[in-house]
Amino acid sequence: EIVLTQSPATLSVSPGERVTLSCRASQSVNRRLAWFQQKPGLPPRLLIYSASTRATGISARFSGTGSGTEFTLIISSLQSEDFAVYYCQQYDTWPPSFTFGQGTRLEIK
Amino acid sequence: EVQLVQSGAEVKKSGESLEISCKASGYIFTNHWISWVRQRPGKGLEWMGIIYPGDSDTRYSPSFRGQVTISVDKSTTTAHLQWSSLKASDTATYYCPRHVGDDSHAPGEFWGQGTPVTVSS
Protein backbone atom coordinates (compact mmCIF):
# COMPACT_ATOMS: atom_id res chain seq x y z
CA GLU A 1 0.00 0.00 0.00
CA ILE A 2 1.26 3.48 -0.87
CA VAL A 3 1.82 5.68 2.17
CA LEU A 4 1.38 9.44 1.87
CA THR A 5 3.23 11.59 4.39
CA GLN A 6 2.11 15.19 4.79
CA SER A 7 4.20 17.90 6.38
CA PRO A 8 3.99 19.78 8.56
CA ALA A 9 1.29 18.27 10.77
CA THR A 10 0.25 21.73 11.93
CA LEU A 11 1.08 25.14 10.56
CA SER A 12 0.36 28.45 12.30
CA VAL A 13 0.12 31.29 9.83
CA SER A 14 -1.27 34.81 9.57
CA PRO A 15 -3.90 35.96 7.08
CA GLY A 16 -2.29 37.27 3.93
CA GLU A 17 0.71 34.93 4.12
CA ARG A 18 1.68 32.45 1.41
CA VAL A 19 1.61 28.81 2.51
CA THR A 20 3.24 25.67 1.11
CA LEU A 21 2.01 22.23 2.16
CA SER A 22 3.89 19.06 1.27
CA CYS A 23 2.77 15.52 0.44
CA ARG A 24 5.31 12.75 -0.16
CA ALA A 25 4.41 9.32 -1.55
CA SER A 26 6.25 6.11 -0.63
CA GLN A 27 6.36 5.23 -4.35
CA SER A 28 5.47 7.00 -7.57
CA VAL A 29 1.81 7.90 -8.11
CA ASN A 30 2.56 9.66 -11.40
CA ARG A 31 0.31 12.76 -11.29
CA ARG A 32 -2.68 10.98 -9.72
CA LEU A 33 -2.72 13.12 -6.62
CA ALA A 34 -5.54 15.24 -5.22
CA TRP A 35 -5.83 17.82 -2.46
CA PHE A 36 -8.87 18.33 -0.23
CA GLN A 37 -9.89 20.94 2.34
CA GLN A 38 -12.02 19.96 5.30
CA LYS A 39 -13.68 22.20 7.88
CA PRO A 40 -15.23 20.92 11.12
CA GLY A 41 -18.52 19.11 10.66
CA LEU A 42 -18.36 19.26 6.86
CA PRO A 43 -17.33 16.77 4.18
CA PRO A 44 -14.01 17.27 2.41
CA ARG A 45 -13.97 19.62 -0.56
CA LEU A 46 -11.90 18.78 -3.64
CA LEU A 47 -9.41 21.54 -4.43
CA ILE A 48 -6.89 20.06 -6.86
CA TYR A 49 -6.68 16.83 -8.89
CA SER A 50 -4.17 15.43 -11.35
CA ALA A 51 -1.58 17.21 -9.18
CA SER A 52 -2.27 20.67 -10.61
CA THR A 53 -5.83 20.94 -12.02
CA ARG A 54 -8.15 23.15 -9.97
CA ALA A 55 -11.57 21.66 -9.34
CA THR A 56 -14.65 23.55 -10.48
CA GLY A 57 -15.23 26.74 -8.54
CA ILE A 58 -11.92 26.69 -6.66
CA SER A 59 -10.14 30.01 -6.21
CA ALA A 60 -6.99 30.67 -8.21
CA ARG A 61 -5.10 31.30 -4.96
CA PHE A 62 -4.95 27.49 -4.65
CA SER A 63 -2.38 25.80 -6.87
CA GLY A 64 -0.71 22.38 -6.97
CA THR A 65 2.61 21.15 -8.29
CA GLY A 66 4.58 17.93 -8.43
CA SER A 67 4.73 14.46 -9.92
CA GLY A 68 6.06 11.06 -8.97
CA THR A 69 6.55 11.14 -5.19
CA GLU A 70 6.75 14.84 -4.28
CA PHE A 71 3.74 17.16 -4.33
CA THR A 72 2.97 20.64 -3.06
CA LEU A 73 -0.19 22.63 -2.41
CA ILE A 74 0.35 26.38 -2.45
CA ILE A 75 -2.12 28.86 -1.02
CA SER A 76 -1.22 32.41 -1.91
CA SER A 77 -2.39 35.17 0.44
CA LEU A 78 -4.31 33.18 3.05
CA GLN A 79 -7.90 34.23 3.72
CA SER A 80 -9.79 33.63 6.96
CA GLU A 81 -11.91 30.92 5.30
CA ASP A 82 -8.77 28.93 4.39
CA PHE A 83 -8.06 27.83 7.96
CA ALA A 84 -8.92 24.14 7.88
CA VAL A 85 -7.36 20.68 7.57
CA TYR A 86 -5.85 19.74 4.22
CA TYR A 87 -5.49 16.18 2.95
CA CYS A 88 -3.75 14.72 -0.06
CA GLN A 89 -4.96 11.50 -1.71
CA GLN A 90 -3.38 9.25 -4.32
CA TYR A 91 -5.55 7.35 -6.78
CA ASP A 92 -2.92 5.68 -8.92
CA THR A 93 -2.89 2.09 -7.68
CA TRP A 94 -4.81 -0.79 -9.25
CA PRO A 95 -6.34 -2.86 -7.76
CA PRO A 96 -7.35 0.32 -6.04
CA SER A 97 -6.26 1.38 -2.58
CA PHE A 98 -6.63 5.13 -2.84
CA THR A 99 -4.89 6.21 0.33
CA PHE A 100 -5.05 9.60 2.05
CA GLY A 101 -2.29 11.45 3.87
CA GLN A 102 -2.73 12.10 7.59
CA GLY A 103 -3.58 15.77 7.06
CA THR A 104 -2.09 19.21 7.74
CA ARG A 105 -3.95 21.59 10.04
CA LEU A 106 -3.72 25.28 9.18
CA GLU A 107 -4.18 27.45 12.26
CA ILE A 108 -4.43 31.19 12.73
CA LYS A 109 -1.27 32.61 14.27
CA GLU B 1 -27.19 19.97 -9.87
CA VAL B 2 -25.26 16.92 -8.69
CA GLN B 3 -26.35 15.85 -5.21
CA LEU B 4 -25.52 12.93 -2.94
CA VAL B 5 -27.82 12.75 0.05
CA GLN B 6 -26.94 10.26 2.74
CA SER B 7 -29.18 8.55 5.27
CA GLY B 8 -29.35 9.82 8.84
CA ALA B 9 -27.29 9.16 11.95
CA GLU B 10 -27.34 5.66 13.39
CA VAL B 11 -26.84 4.36 16.94
CA LYS B 12 -26.30 0.61 17.16
CA LYS B 13 -24.86 -2.06 19.43
CA SER B 14 -21.90 -4.34 18.76
CA GLY B 15 -22.90 -7.37 16.75
CA GLU B 16 -25.87 -5.69 15.06
CA SER B 17 -26.18 -5.30 11.31
CA LEU B 18 -26.52 -1.98 9.51
CA GLU B 19 -26.99 -0.57 6.03
CA ILE B 20 -26.52 3.13 5.23
CA SER B 21 -27.39 4.75 1.93
CA CYS B 22 -26.31 7.48 -0.47
CA LYS B 23 -28.99 8.77 -2.86
CA ALA B 24 -27.56 10.29 -6.05
CA SER B 25 -29.29 12.77 -8.35
CA GLY B 26 -28.53 15.36 -11.01
CA TYR B 27 -26.39 13.15 -13.25
CA ILE B 28 -26.39 9.80 -15.03
CA PHE B 29 -25.96 7.45 -12.08
CA THR B 30 -24.52 4.55 -14.07
CA ASN B 31 -21.68 6.60 -15.59
CA HIS B 32 -19.67 7.55 -12.50
CA TRP B 33 -17.75 5.62 -9.86
CA ILE B 34 -18.69 6.17 -6.21
CA SER B 35 -16.33 5.64 -3.27
CA TRP B 36 -16.94 5.21 0.44
CA VAL B 37 -14.68 6.98 2.95
CA ARG B 38 -14.47 6.56 6.73
CA GLN B 39 -13.53 9.25 9.24
CA ARG B 40 -13.27 8.24 12.86
CA PRO B 41 -13.91 10.96 15.47
CA GLY B 42 -11.08 13.49 15.42
CA LYS B 43 -9.10 11.45 12.89
CA GLY B 44 -8.20 11.51 9.20
CA LEU B 45 -9.83 10.09 6.09
CA GLU B 46 -9.68 6.40 5.17
CA TRP B 47 -10.64 5.15 1.70
CA MET B 48 -12.81 2.02 1.91
CA GLY B 49 -13.71 1.01 -1.63
CA ILE B 50 -15.40 1.94 -4.90
CA ILE B 51 -18.26 0.76 -7.06
CA TYR B 52 -19.25 1.40 -10.66
CA PRO B 53 -23.05 1.56 -10.78
CA GLY B 54 -23.10 0.68 -14.49
CA ASP B 55 -22.09 -2.93 -13.87
CA SER B 56 -21.66 -3.07 -10.07
CA ASP B 57 -17.89 -3.63 -10.43
CA THR B 58 -16.75 -3.29 -6.81
CA ARG B 59 -13.25 -3.01 -5.35
CA TYR B 60 -12.26 -2.84 -1.69
CA SER B 61 -9.29 -1.47 0.18
CA PRO B 62 -7.40 -4.41 1.73
CA SER B 63 -8.18 -2.91 5.15
CA PHE B 64 -11.94 -3.13 4.57
CA ARG B 65 -12.32 -6.26 2.41
CA GLY B 66 -14.54 -8.73 4.24
CA GLN B 67 -15.57 -6.11 6.80
CA VAL B 68 -18.19 -4.26 4.73
CA THR B 69 -20.25 -4.74 1.58
CA ILE B 70 -20.70 -2.01 -1.03
CA SER B 71 -23.63 -2.21 -3.45
CA VAL B 72 -25.91 -0.10 -5.62
CA ASP B 73 -29.56 -0.10 -6.63
CA LYS B 74 -29.82 1.37 -10.11
CA SER B 75 -33.60 1.62 -9.91
CA THR B 76 -33.33 4.12 -7.04
CA THR B 77 -29.89 5.57 -7.96
CA THR B 78 -28.68 4.73 -4.48
CA ALA B 79 -25.39 3.34 -3.21
CA HIS B 80 -25.28 1.30 -0.02
CA LEU B 81 -22.69 0.41 2.61
CA GLN B 82 -23.50 -2.59 4.77
CA TRP B 83 -22.15 -4.30 7.88
CA SER B 84 -23.27 -7.75 9.03
CA SER B 85 -21.80 -7.47 12.52
CA LEU B 86 -20.77 -4.04 13.82
CA LYS B 87 -17.85 -3.41 16.17
CA ALA B 88 -17.21 -0.45 18.43
CA SER B 89 -14.28 0.42 16.15
CA ASP B 90 -16.78 1.06 13.32
CA THR B 91 -17.85 4.26 15.12
CA ALA B 92 -17.20 6.97 12.54
CA THR B 93 -18.73 9.27 9.96
CA TYR B 94 -19.03 7.69 6.53
CA TYR B 95 -18.98 9.65 3.28
CA CYS B 96 -19.89 8.73 -0.30
CA PRO B 97 -18.04 10.85 -2.88
CA ARG B 98 -18.74 10.60 -6.62
CA HIS B 99 -15.62 10.54 -8.73
CA VAL B 100 -14.49 13.24 -11.14
CA GLY B 101 -15.50 12.25 -14.67
CA ASP B 102 -16.10 8.59 -15.51
CA ASP B 103 -12.68 7.28 -14.50
CA SER B 104 -12.06 4.87 -11.64
CA HIS B 105 -8.67 6.56 -11.20
CA ALA B 106 -10.10 9.81 -9.94
CA PRO B 107 -10.80 11.57 -6.63
CA GLY B 108 -14.21 12.34 -5.19
CA GLU B 109 -15.62 15.57 -6.57
CA PHE B 110 -19.14 15.60 -5.12
CA TRP B 111 -19.56 14.42 -1.52
CA GLY B 112 -22.54 13.40 0.56
CA GLN B 113 -23.05 15.20 3.86
CA GLY B 114 -21.85 12.18 5.85
CA THR B 115 -23.62 9.58 7.99
CA PRO B 116 -22.46 9.37 11.63
CA VAL B 117 -22.53 5.84 12.98
CA THR B 118 -22.12 5.17 16.71
CA VAL B 119 -21.59 1.61 17.90
CA SER B 120 -21.71 0.89 21.61
CA SER B 121 -20.25 -2.18 23.19
Gap between the Cα atoms of A100 and B47, Å rounded: 7
Statement: residue A94 has pLDDT above 90: no
- Does A44 contact B114 at a Cβ distance shorter than 8 Å? no
Residues of A in contact with B62 (CB under 8 A): 1, 97
| B113 part of contact set with chain A, CB < 8 Å | yes
* SS3 assignment for B12-49: EECCCCEEEEEEEECCCHHHCCEEEEEECCCCCEEEEE
pLDDT of residue B6: 98
B33 Cβ under 8 Å from any chain A Cβ: no
DSSP code of A60? T
Under an 8 Å CB criterion, which residues of A touch B?
A: 1, 32, 34, 36, 38, 43-46, 49, 55-56, 87, 89, 91-92, 94-103
Angstrom distance (rounded) from CA B70 to CA A98: 16
Mean pLDDT by 10 residues, chain B (121 residues): 98 98 98 97 98 96 96 98 98 97 92 98 89
- State whether residue A48 is helix, strand or coil: strand
pLDDT tens by residue, A21-65? 999 999 999 999 999 999 999 999 999 999 999 999 999 999 999
Q: Is B83 left (phi over 0), alpha (psi -120 to 50) or beta?
A: beta
Average pLDDT over residues A77-99: 93
pLDDT value at position A73?
Answer: 98
- Of B44, B59, B113, nearest to A100 by CB-CB distance is B44
